[in-house]
Amino acid sequence: MKLLHIIQGSVGGTLEYLKLLIPRLKNLGYENKVICQNEICEELNTLSIETYKIEMSREISIKDDLISLMKILKVLKSYRPDICYLHSSKAGALGRLACFLTRTKCVYNPHGWSFAMQTGYINKLFYAFIEKSLSFLCSRIILISDAELSIAKNYHIAPENKLITIYNGIDIDKFSEALAVDRKTILNSNGKNIVIGMVGRLTEQKDPLMFVKISAEILKVIKNAKFILVGDGNLREKTLSLAKELGVSDNLILTGWVKDPESYIKAFDVAVLT
């Protein structure tokens, strides 16, 4: 059976999801190919996963979205997959339209509802309306948590028999076998510091600004605390600016993207999710 995954976005949790999923599907006899963008294509190619490079903008753009849709249609017509697995909102929208036009079966995983993020009320309604309208064009909507399922039901995104929850898996061996990064080198730690960290994209959905605010409050009580954000994103400059404003710059490290986040987690005394 041939599977075509379509993903929009950059390095982050959805990519890690695919890196766990695709090798296991391959072991079960499924053929997998992926439509993705530059960074993700490069990462997947190192794992011998065949990719098609198609740019998709996160924002709504009639011109850019039509160009992306036409390119997706071309791949669907040439590869002729048995099932398309669509990851994230934009890939889910364009992918469902392309699958409808080519009569290809598809399933969709939002990896976090776009309308559940911190955005205006009108935007929430608009994004929810798009999700609800496109829900008729896929066979199943796969959700990764009970919270996502609850949100889908509250917004009446799709009939309940179309919604299914499959929790994210974790490669436990990868973490148990990881070696912690050198705290002294990375954090200029004297060995007596309490290291508090978070791993995730520096985007609205992950809320790194809240992490900085929490750090400022903790520092008032725990003077030897050090903070580390592992990841990158469009809120990097705002995160640095807020850290400076709240007086935590000297105690905060932003690593950017790293190949071994598990090694950083091993170095945490306390892990935080915002």
Clarify whether residues 177 and 148 are in a common domain: no
What integer pLDDT is reported at residue 190 of this predicted model?
Answer: 66
Clarify whether residues 144 and 100 are in a common domain: yes
Clarify whether residues 49 and 113 are in a common domain: yes
Range of the domain at 105: 2-165
What integer pLDDT is reported at residue 201 of this predicted model?
Answer: 85
Clarify whether residues 161 and 177 are in a common domain: no
| Confidence label for 185 from pLDDT (cuts 50, 70 and 90) | confident
- What does the block give as tokens for 260? 């071994």
| Confidence label for 71 from pLDDT (cuts 50, 70 and 90) | very high
Clarify whether residues 153 and 187 are in a common domain: no
Secondary structure (3-state) at 28: coil
Count of domains for the chain: 2
What integer pLDDT is reported at residue 177 of this predicted model?
Answer: 78
Which letter does DSSP use for residue 134 in this model?
H
Distance CA 200, CA 219 (A): 22
AA identity, residue 167: Y
Average pLDDT score over the chain: 90
To the nearest whole percent, how much of the chain has pLDDT over 90?
61
What integer pLDDT is reported at residue 189 of this predicted model?
Answer: 67
Burial of 66 (0-12, 13-18, 19+ CB in 10 A): exposed
Whether residue 112 has pLDDT greater than 90: no
Clarify whether residues 120 and 56 are in a common domain: yes
The reported pTM is: 0.80
Domain boundary among 124, 149, 165: 165
Which residues partner with 142 through β-bridges? 164
DSSP assignments along 182-201, one per residue: -HHHHH---S-PEEEEEES-
| Confidence label for 118 from pLDDT (cuts 50, 70 and 90) | low
Clarify whether residues 35 and 160 are in a common domain: yes
Clarify whether residues 149 and 211 are in a common domain: no
What integer pLDDT is reported at residue 119 of this predicted model?
Answer: 67
| Confidence label for 258 from pLDDT (cuts 50, 70 and 90) | confident
Distance CA 171, CA 168 (A): 10
Clarify whether residues 6 and 140 are in a common domain: yes
Give the sheet arrangement for strand 270-271, strand by strand: 252-254, 225-230, 194-199, 270-271
Which residues partner with 3 through β-bridges? 32, 83
Higher-confidence residue: 197 or 203?
197
CATH number at residue 187: 3.40.50.2000
What integer pLDDT is reported at residue 26 of this predicted model?
Answer: 94
Return the residue matching tokens 């790293």: 258
Clarify whether residues 57 and 143 are in a common domain: yes
pLDDT (mean) for 170-182: 80
What digits encode the pLDDT tens for the residues 146-161?
A: 999 999 999 999 999 9
Distance CA 247, CA 160 (A): 48
Whether residue 29 has pLDDT greater than 90: yes
Any idea which of 13-17, 46-50, 51-55 has the lowest mean pLDDT? 13-17
| Confidence label for 68 from pLDDT (cuts 50, 70 and 90) | very high
What integer pLDDT is reported at residue 73 of this predicted model?
Answer: 97
pLDDT (mean) for 98-111: 96
Winning range, highest mean pLDDT, from 79-83, 88-92, 118-122: 79-83
What integer pLDDT is reported at residue 270 of this predicted model?
Answer: 93
Clarify whether residues 137 and 52 are in a common domain: yes
